[in-house]
């Protein structure tokens, strides 16, 4: 018999965060989170997402053993301002037992019906900067710190329980050697001359911070047309600056300015922390911080986290200016592999950006939907 218990205390939430460590303990591809960071994400006093959203966390027990978990999320900006009556769910993990997955999903359904919502979709987080999608291809590949990894049986459970595909995301990679400068150096020069744009690079994190708010504004404008987009609020900007910007090598952040010094494009690239996080085993101390710092300085793999271009500058070669700057930085760093975050399969614009790099699709993931 499966019993659900809502995780409300700090101790329960810690069990919620640590549950995947049990079902992935022998999995070489799973990348664990930092436990305290994950707990902070679920803390209403620390994560500003709770200003416009609410979340409830549930654990499934068989006897005294935890066999599953799920987060039920209501984003009020999405519902009240965007008129999208969606019940979100995420952080959904479970043993291979349909009784477990069904009781967890039914709890989300119940909450969605209480709020008179129309459908439920997941796995997703609070916003577009959270992890998204259940892995459906690429199980032999190592995960990243910005994606969920899961066992192959997850997809079977969704479909067995009547969920249908809502969105599909592709994850691509390519060796840095594919980045032939001939495709962007000439365009770089032409674009700078024609439009008066100029690149801006950084060497210190404190140089980035004064412009970070403008970057998030541009992110909101750039990504607003994508499905499931929820804009970043003012209070979230400070949170994300602290959470993400300090984690990224400043030389991996590139801005493009117009002739009036207005920000028109940005790129954020992260070193791969996957192996470092596996060594850290969910803890920064005593050695986790050392592994992460070492990866930040010496990782030869990088992850293209976000690229944003002001709509009126899209398809004008602005990304060539950015890629030329990245090519110089990566050449100096000896980067070997470039990995991209999940991108919607129908995002034609992003495919055009990367076409000269001959990327390979090495993972696919989906969100699933069910009417309430």
Average pLDDT over residues 99-115: 98
pLDDT of residue 30: 98
* 248, 163: one domain: no
94 and 214 share one domain: no
Q: How many CB atoms lie within 10 A of CB 243?
A: 16
Main-chain dihedrals φ then ψ at residue 165, nearest 5 degrees: -60, 130
Q: Are residues 130 and 188 in the same domain?
A: no
- Residue 186: pLDDT band (50, 70, 90) is confident
Alpha-carbon distance 154 to 66, whole Å? 17
Structural domain contains residue 93: yes
Tell me: do 197 and 323 sit in the same domain. Answer: yes
The answer to whether the Cα torsion of 228, 136, 370, 69 is positive or negative is negative
Class of residue 168 by CB neighbours under 10 A (exposed 0-12, middle 13-18, buried 19+): middle
Confidence band of 227 (pLDDT split at 50, 70, 90): low
pLDDT above 90: percentage of residues in the chain: 79
Domain of residue 291 covers: 175-362
Instruction: Please check whether residues 245 and 118 belong to one and the same domain.
Output: no
Identify whether 371 is part of a domain: no
Residues 157 and 230 in one domain: no
Do 234 and 346 lie in one domain? The reply is yes
Is there a contact between 84 and 35 (Cβ–Cβ < 8 Å)?
A: no
State how many domains the chain has: 2
Residues contacting residue 240 through CB under 8 Å, at least 6 positions apart: 129, 216, 232
Q: Which helix (H) or strand (E) holds 40?
A: helix 35-41
**Same-domain pairing of 84 and 204:** no
- Could you tell me if residue 221 is inside a domain? yes
The SS3 of residue 121 is strand
Note the pLDDT tens digit of each residue in 298-352.
999 999 998 999 989 988 999 999 999 999 999 999 999 999 999 999 888 788 8
- Which runs of E-coded beta strand occur in the chain? 2-6, 53-62, 65-75, 86-94, 119-122, 134-137, 164-175, 198-200, 253-257, 263-271, 301-309, 337-340, 343-344, 360-371
- Does 192 reside within a domain? yes
Residue 283 is part of a domain; what is its CATH number? Answer: 3.40.630.30
**What pLDDT score does 69 carry?**
98
Residue 24 and residue 93 in one domain: yes
Q: In sequence order, which residues have a C-beta less than 8 Å from that of residue 152 and are 6 or more positions away? A: 139
Contact 366, 154 (CB under 8 A): no
Residue 223: inside a domain, yes or no? yes
Among 171, 198, 218, where does a domain finish? 171
Domain annotation covers residue 370: no
352 and 339 assigned to the same domain: yes
Residues 179, 161 within the same domain: no
Span 52-71, pLDDT tens digits: 999 999 999 999 999 999 99
Residue 159 structure tokens: 């479909």
Q: Cα dist. 54→57, 100, 110, 181 in Å?
A: 10, 23, 15, 47
The verdict on 50 and 137 lying in the same domain is yes
Domain final position from 171, 186, 202: 171
Encode pLDDT of 231-281 as tens digits.
Answer: 888 888 888 887 778 778 999 999 999 999 999 999 999 999 999 999 999
CA-based nearest residue to 170, from 224, 133, 225: 133
Examine the fold and report which residue of 117, 139, 171 is the final residue of a domain before the chain moves on.
171
């Amino acid at each position: 018999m499966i019993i659900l218990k809502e995780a409300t205390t700090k101790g329960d939430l810690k069990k919620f965060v640590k549950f995947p460590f049990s079902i992935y303990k022998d999995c070489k591809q799973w990348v664990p989170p930092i436990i305290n960071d994950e707990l902070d994400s679920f803390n209403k006093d620390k994560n500003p997402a709770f200003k416009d959203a609410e979340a409830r966390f549930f654990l499934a027990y068989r006897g005294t053993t935890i066999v599953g978990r799920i987060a039920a999320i209501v984003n009020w900006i999405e519902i009240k301002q965007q008129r999208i009556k969606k019940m979100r769910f995420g952080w959904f993990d479970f043993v291979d037992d349909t009784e477990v997955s069904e009781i967890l999903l039914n709890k989300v359904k119940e909450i969605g019906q209480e709020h008179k919502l129309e459908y439920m979709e997941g796995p997703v987080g609070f916003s577009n900067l959270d992890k998204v999608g259940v892995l459906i291809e690429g199980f032999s590949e190592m995960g990243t710190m910005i994606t969920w990894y899961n066992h192959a049986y997850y997809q079977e459970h969704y479909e067995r329980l009547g969920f249908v595909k809502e969105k599909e995301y592709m994850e691509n990679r390519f060796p840095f050697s594919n980045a032939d400068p001939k495709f962007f150096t000439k365009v770089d020069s032409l674009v700078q001359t024609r439009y008066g744009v100029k690149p801006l690079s950084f060497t210190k994190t404190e140089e980035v911070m004064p412009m970070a708010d403008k970057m998030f504004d541009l992110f909101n404008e750039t990504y607003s047309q994508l499905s499931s987009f929820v804009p970043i609020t003012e209070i979230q900007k400070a949170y994300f600056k602290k959470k993400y910007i300090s984690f990224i090598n400043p030389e991996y952040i590139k801005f493009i300015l117009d002739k009036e010094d207005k920000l028109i494009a940005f790129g954020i690239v992260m070193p791969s922390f996957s192996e470092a996080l596996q060594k850290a085993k969910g803890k920064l101390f005593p050695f986790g911080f050392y592994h992460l710092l070492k990866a930040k300085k010496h990782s030869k793999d990088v992850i293209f986290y976000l690229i944003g271009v002001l709509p009126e500058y899209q398809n004008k070669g602005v990304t060539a200016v950015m890629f030329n700057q990245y090519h110089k930085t990566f050449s100096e760093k000896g980067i070997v592999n470039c990995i991209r975050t999940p991108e919607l399969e129908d995002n034609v614009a992003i495919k055009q950006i990367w076409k000269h790099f001959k990327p390979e699709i090495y993972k696919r993931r989906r969100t699933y939907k069910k009417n309430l």
